[in-house]
Structure 1
Amino acid sequence: MSIHTLEPTAIWSHFATINAIPRASKKEEAIIEYMLSFGKSLGLFAERDEVGNVLIRKPATSGYESKSIIVLQAHLDMVHQKNAETDFNFETSGIQMLIDGDWVRADGTTLGADNGIGVAAIMGVLASSDIPHPAIEALFTIDEETGMTGAKSLAPGWLTGSYLLNLDTEDDEEITIGCAGGVDVTATGALREEATTAYDTLVHIAVKGLQGGHSGMDIHKGLGNANKLLMRVLDSVISEADARLYTVDGGGLRNAIPREATATLACRSADAAGIRDMVKRTQQIIAKEYAATEPSLAISTTQENADDELSVLTVESQQKFVAVCNVAHHGVFRMSAVFPDLVETSNNVARIVLKSGKYTILCLTRSAIQSSKEYLAMILRSTFEMLDAEVAFSGDYPGWEPEPEGELVQLTADTYRRLFNSEPSVCAGHGGLECGLIGKVYPNLKMVSVGPTIRGAHSPDERASISSVAKFWNFFLELLKNTP
């Protein structure tokens, strides 16, 4: 069966089409041009703003002219992640999709259901001739995944709607009414090295097989962080063996929990076997701890001969570097005191790179409370300054404050109950949605977020439920009919 023929075809056919277009964050020009052409091909008003956000307007269908204008919003970019063994070029190839029971997934890469399903659902309504709806402003933002620069750059007056449906929630039982804000924390610096000919062997350590996942929505699940596990292994080695740290390369995007990380140690050939045994012993301890959450965890070693002379970290430098990376907080920092089982504040140690003595450590700190976000960012700054690092804060975006008693929230929940004869989960989420930023520019815009069930977002295990997409589509169309 083809993805194009899955039901509802109004979503899946458009999803398959946009998934053939590379659309990494900050590289969205092709998808921007496609969306403009799509809107114009339907005879609709379509334009882009200076940064690349696309707005398509569609008039109300007959009988719905008196209803309020509704903004339908989703983001065009997707996270590009792949398994190390997958041979795939995101810049030139479309996503290779497959059907696995009730799931659509990709072949060794992220799927792009986050937020491609939302984009495709809006496209389905725009292209329809038989779906009743009020006047629509379809807003497709760019760069949501790596800075939300599209939402940050929205100009006042571009949107005229009274209500906004964000289609970036990833559980079909949830109605999201708030989310965390975030800030990027970046530490950079240089460590002392020394040239030596004493070490004739390189031992490469690789942490692989972790699930990864969304650094907001999955941060509470106890999943392994490859960077943190690698530093734990390195500490066990350098505290006992005569070995020097040469390179580190771990993790990737700030909003993805790291799945893989590697490091290289320089040592004497006579010590290599002992070092590999130390890694194996530590791996066995870690594997036992993570047996339930990371059953595919693998920590392996290989070795090769080294060059005649190497520049490696000094003993003091490597001890300090590994210690600071181990101390840097990863995971849940504080749970919400307002919403049960909701993470309030967290941090993702997303990327660690060390090469030629120079290092970069990237984190994404999230919180529903601005002061708590600032406090954890300060703790991280203090931690990294122990390395004499330059610490920069960037990409700061606000949270979205919930309004549980709002008119649109109540309407959305009532519609869900009527359609499915069950109670929705009306909640705030720990992931970052653009509603907080949009609300800063349009403070009178009433907003909720809904979507189908998506699992493993931001990882190659990303998948979208076929039955849930059908359920979401029915819910979405009913909301369009019933907005005031």
Structure 2
Amino acid sequence: MSDPLKNLQSEHLFKHFKAIADIPHGSYHTEKLSNAILAFAEEKHLNAERDDVGNVVITVPATPGHEDAAPVILQGHLDMVTVAKPGVIHDFDIDPITLVLKGDDLYADGTTLGADDGAGVAMALALLDEPDFVHPKLYLVFTTEEEVGMDGAYALDYQQFADAKFMINLDSEDEGTATVGCAGGTHMKSTLPIRRVKAKGLAAVLSVSGLAGGHSGDEIDQFGLNAVKVLADALCAIAKDVDFSIVDLKGGERDNAIPTSAEATLLIAPSERVTLDQTVNALQHTFRAIAGKRDQGMTLALDFPQADAVEASVLDPDSEARVLGALSAAPTGVVAMNRSVPGAVNTSLNLGVAATSDKALSLVFLIRSDHDAARDMLCGRVTRLIDLLGGTTGAPSSYPAWPARETSPLLDTMSAIWQAQTGKALTPMVIHGGLECALFAHALPDLDIVSIGPDNIDIHTANEHMSIPSFKRTYAFLKAAVEALA
């Protein structure tokens, strides 16, 4: 098969990106890629180490005459998200990514592209092939399992490059922006015990669907509806007119995604059917009016799967009251906006999953904040609410925030270079998602960090693609920035 990158300029850059795409490297399967990187370092006669979890660190001595310049870390991650389009057969443990060039954009053939973070790793490696590259001492740090919880960064020995003063992370997605801070997060799970009793009635399934959803960090500032919360509010409104019992309830798929659908199975008296139908129709109009443009596709639907009454195990009245109380009272969405960065979210909570089992209601939250203290306070609010309702809450994992620095010589240098190269201002931004930069900043508080990357669109989907011109410009920007630090 012909190489779609063969005739592109910046051959070092695209040679490395193609080599990365040829090696399967989904999360927990990055050993082959790290082997290739270690072999490349050996060819260059550079010291490279791989730790027990697969992180790779390459140490590059400064260009002669530049040994006094402060060392710089270039950092990216080895693993990629592995998603294929329906009907596409692709074994991500064996098959290479097939690259497809469409105009100025690079796609994969029916799968994720892996530019997150193959683009960043390729840029760092390509610099080592540049014949006239002048640089300070460099540490190329490639971590594992970033996409599934930043496991590699958690296990990293930061003291091996503690002399570094600057770090350029290569895992951002928008050209012309410089990420200078990110939110920390806590994954929380609450469990509310429930009791059940036998009841008989007409089964009715109330469902919420068609919401826009989105990433609970990147798109929480769109103020879209949360399907679990809509369902809870609908049930509380229905309870004013209709006597029902809850059989089961479920909504959402994971804590970092705003739920787009939810449903509850109810038992009602057959005589309440018309009233329930009318109430649900009225509520749909109400919620669409509340939703605004983003969630105008929302549907609140009612289905009666059996014509006759059935017997089922339902929540007893006390359990039902506590479940609806938890779902309706739990905070969700944006809690506070950033007081220093206009338009940026400071603190948020996403109720990502809610589901009843035989004996409990489980709620899964992801709480984010630019300040660890604000995150912890919100975690405390949720914990106290669930405690009052007779449940328990645990936080199995947290990751720290990366607060934006008041002054950043690295950002100043990079801004001047971007202005000179493009005639445009470099836009600093604080994101409401997690980046490995936070763990580096936590371990090495004096490290001055900026994150950049080329335009990478629809990441983590089978439609992921990257702008080739943006990739080339970002690489030239990176090279000039590192040279300026020498």
Please, what TM-score do these two structures have when normalized by structure 1? 0.82
Larger mean Cα displacement after TM superposition, 453-462 or 398-407: 453-462
Q: Specify which of 69, 73, 76 is matched with residue 75 of structure 2.
A: 73
Larger Rg: 2
SS at 2:354's partner residue? Answer: strand
Distance (Å, rounded) in 1 between the aligned partners of 2:96 and 2:226: 28
Shift of 1:206: 4.3
Paired AA for residue 288 in structure 2: A
Evaluate the alpha carbon distance shift between residue 201 and residue 110 of structure 1 in structure 2; reply closer, same or farther with a 3 A threshold.
Answer: farther
1:182 paired residue number: 185
Specify every segment of 5 or more residues in structure 1 that has no aligned partner in the other structure, as ranges. Answer: none
Distance (Å, rounded) in 2 between the aligned partners of 1:103 and 1:235: 49
Aligned residues of 2:192 and 2:362 also touching (Cα < 8 A): yes
Evaluate the alpha carbon distance shift between residue 48 and residue 458 of structure 1 in structure 2; reply closer, same or farther with a 3 A threshold.
Answer: same
1:226 paired residue number: 227
Larger mean Cα displacement after TM superposition, 471-480 or 105-114: 105-114
Aligned residues of 1:3 and 1:12 also touching (Cα < 8 A): no
2:36 paired residue number: 37
1:428 aligns with 2:430: yes
Evaluate the alpha carbon distance shift between residue 407 and residue 258 of structure 1 in structure 2; reply closer, same or farther with a 3 A threshold.
Answer: same
1:191 paired residue number: 194
Aligned residues of 2:29 and 2:79 also touching (Cα < 8 A): no
1:233-252 superposed Cα distances (whole Å, 9 cap, x missing partner)? 33334443343323333223
2:450 paired residue number: 448
Paired AA for residue 244 in structure 1: S
Evaluate the alpha carbon distance shift between residue 286 and residue 96 of structure 1 in structure 2; reply closer, same or farther with a 3 A threshold.
Answer: farther
1:4-60 superposed Cα distances (whole Å, 9 cap, x missing partner)? 567777666766765677766xxx331243223333245354433233323234556
2:174 paired residue number: 171
1:180-200 superposed Cα distances (whole Å, 9 cap, x missing partner)? 22222221232111123x135
1:266-298 superposed Cα distances (whole Å, 9 cap, x missing partner)? 445665565455444333332333342234444
Shift of 1:94: 7.7
Paired AA for residue 185 in structure 2: G
Aligned residues of 1:254 and 1:348 also touching (Cα < 8 A): yes
Aligned residues of 2:371 and 2:403 also touching (Cα < 8 A): no
SS at 1:199's partner residue? Answer: strand
Distance (Å, rounded) in 2 between the aligned partners of 1:375 and 1:46: 42
Superposition map of 1:3-402 within 5 A: 28-41=27-40, 43=42, 45-58=47-60, 67-78=69-80, 113-125=115-127, 128-130=129-131, 132=133, 134=135, 135-159=137-161, 161-196=164-199, 198-203=200-205, 205-213=207-215, 215-267=216-268, 271=272, 275=276, 278-305=279-306, 309-402=311-404
Q: Specify which of 410, 415, 419 is matched with residue 413 of structure 1.
A: 415
Evaluate the alpha carbon distance shift between residue 204 and residue 427 of structure 1 in structure 2; reply closer, same or farther with a 3 A threshold.
Answer: closer
Distance (Å, rounded) in 1 between the aligned partners of 2:274 and 2:114: 43
Evaluate the alpha carbon distance shift between residue 221 and residue 462 of structure 1 in structure 2; reply closer, same or farther with a 3 A threshold.
Answer: farther
Shift of 1:367: 1.6
Please, what TM-score do these two structures have when normalized by structure 2? 0.82
- Matched pairs, number: 477
Shift of 1:136: 3.5
Paired AA for residue 173 in structure 2: E
Evaluate the alpha carbon distance shift between residue 367 and residue 131 of structure 1 in structure 2; reply closer, same or farther with a 3 A threshold.
Answer: farther
Paired AA for residue 157 in structure 1: Q
Paired AA for residue 170 in structure 2: L
Evaluate the alpha carbon distance shift between residue 194 and residue 441 of structure 1 in structure 2; reply closer, same or farther with a 3 A threshold.
Answer: same
Distance (Å, rounded) in 2 between the aligned partners of 1:382 and 1:331: 18
Distance (Å, rounded) in 1 between the aligned partners of 2:204 and 2:445: 58
Distance (Å, rounded) in 2 between the aligned partners of 1:311 and 1:274: 23
Paired AA for residue 171 in structure 2: D
1:478 aligns with 2:480: yes
Paired AA for residue 197 in structure 2: E
Specify every segment of 5 or more residues in structure 2 that has no aligned partner in the other structure, as ranges. Answer: none
Cα RMSD, aligned residues only: 3.8
Aligned residues of 1:55 and 1:140 also touching (Cα < 8 A): yes
Larger mean Cα displacement after TM superposition, 471-480 or 231-240: 231-240
1:199-243 superposed Cα distances (whole Å, 9 cap, x missing partner)? 353525242352412x22322122232322332333334443343
1:55-83 superposed Cα distances (whole Å, 9 cap, x missing partner)? 23455668877654422112344567899
Shift of 1:374: 1.9
Aligned residues of 1:457 and 1:463 also touching (Cα < 8 A): yes
Aligned residues of 1:110 and 1:461 also touching (Cα < 8 A): yes
SS at 1:304's partner residue? Answer: coil
Distance (Å, rounded) in 2 between the aligned partners of 1:137 and 1:422: 29
Evaluate the alpha carbon distance shift between residue 429 and residue 246 of structure 1 in structure 2; reply closer, same or farther with a 3 A threshold.
Answer: same
Aligned residues of 2:72 and 2:167 also touching (Cα < 8 A): yes
Shift of 1:479: 1.8
Distance (Å, rounded) in 1 between the aligned partners of 2:111 and 2:252: 15
Shift of 1:416: 1.2
Distance (Å, rounded) in 2 between the aligned partners of 1:274 and 1:394: 44
Evaluate the alpha carbon distance shift between residue 100 and residue 298 of structure 1 in structure 2; reply closer, same or farther with a 3 A threshold.
Answer: farther
Paired AA for residue 190 in structure 1: P
